[in-house]
Amino acid sequence: TALREEVGENTNVGLLIGFVCHRLRFGGARVGVLEHATLSGDVTRFAADWLDIAGQSSVIDWDEHQFRLCYLAVVVGKTMGAKRQAFDALVVFHEYLVQVYGVPEVAFSELESHAGKRMTFLSPGMLTQLEIAQVMKVLYADLERERAKTDASPDLVRCLEMRVLLFLVLEGSGIRPASAYGLTLGDVVLFASGKDFVRVRTTGEYGRAKTSSSAGFIPLQGSLWSTHRHWVIRWLDREKGRLDGLSWWKFPLFAVDAGRRRRFRRGYLTHRFDQLIKWVSSDPKGRTYWLRKNRVTARHECASDLERPMARDVYSALCSSGHADIDTAIASYISDPAIVMSASIR
């Protein structure tokens, strides 16, 4: 609000700030509460080009023709993959201007023909067990190398421990990085090998789930988790011991220190994963999210490998992956078509 008053409510920058505040308060057409990342995407898809084209004069007094030409210039100037996203964001922005400032409505049909359809770029996200083990080996080597120094930094050692822990949770559970980052100490529930879970929720101070389907107890699975779960148990026991007498289950899992509410920045923890996944896969598009794709694929592969797979087995894989229907898994996650077609090619 202060920034909006500083630049002026009716200036073009002020209109953008007002648009963000409006979306933050009232949400979108389908989602009542929008994530900050969603709001950022809505604005950055068109704002810079729009400001360059609109210039310094406020657009509030423009007529329909001026708005249409400006929006057309923004859309045409985008790359093929970004045209539709910019167009969709402009439509929402103009609806805000019409609703709040009473500017003329724009016929977007002509612009839509220039925007085309939204293009989806999917990466297979395939990592072998050997590649995953190699990443884990490097992460642990980073930690041991820092520990061995006579002048080892306690803060850096803690950060490197957090990276090992986060990698194990992401690879074993397949939950989204944002959901893993929101875990507390009490959200890690370890009973025995094959009976370990993390609890994804939206309640509490840190919990975050993309959809209601993502919430719940998600199993920690795979050979890497089975091999290193005792390391996690020892780390958790040590952490809980340092919080004796406190409500340890409420503190964030990736805190900068035991008993602190502040966490390491998520990007700082996962940036190393991005580097290593690119390295082991020899794919410049490799990134942390591939760990989720890999685990989702593994769950569906396990269901399809059963002697007599049933619908409930696939449903179990969907629930564990936080998906409401099979369409999402097939379209964006399962990297091996043989998994989907297994019943037909036996």
Tell me whether strands 216-219 and 196-200 are parallel, antiparallel or unpaired: antiparallel
**Measuring CA to CA, which residue among 95, 92, 94, 24 is closest to residue 54?**
94
Mean pLDDT (the chain, rounded): 88
Q: For the chain, which ranges sit under pLDDT 70? A: 1-4, 28-38, 119-122, 342-346
Q: What is the pLDDT of residues 93-148, one digit of tens each?
A: 999 899 988 999 988 888 888 888 876 666 778 899 999 999 999 999 999 999 99
In terms of Cβ atoms closer than 10 Å to its own Cβ (0-12, 13-18, 19+), residue 1 is: exposed
Please tell me whether residue 198 adopts helix, strand or coil conformation: strand
Q: What is the pLDDT of residues 209-253, one digit of tens each?
A: 888 888 999 999 999 999 999 999 999 999 999 998 889 999 999
What one-character-per-residue DSSP string does 165-189 give?
Answer: HHHHHHHHH---HHHHHT-BGGGEE
Q: Which residues have C-beta within 8 Å of that of residue 57, sequence separation ≥ 6? A: none
In terms of Cβ atoms closer than 10 Å to its own Cβ (0-12, 13-18, 19+), residue 220 is: buried
Nearest-angstrom CA–CA distance, 261 and 206: 10
pLDDT of residue 33: 64
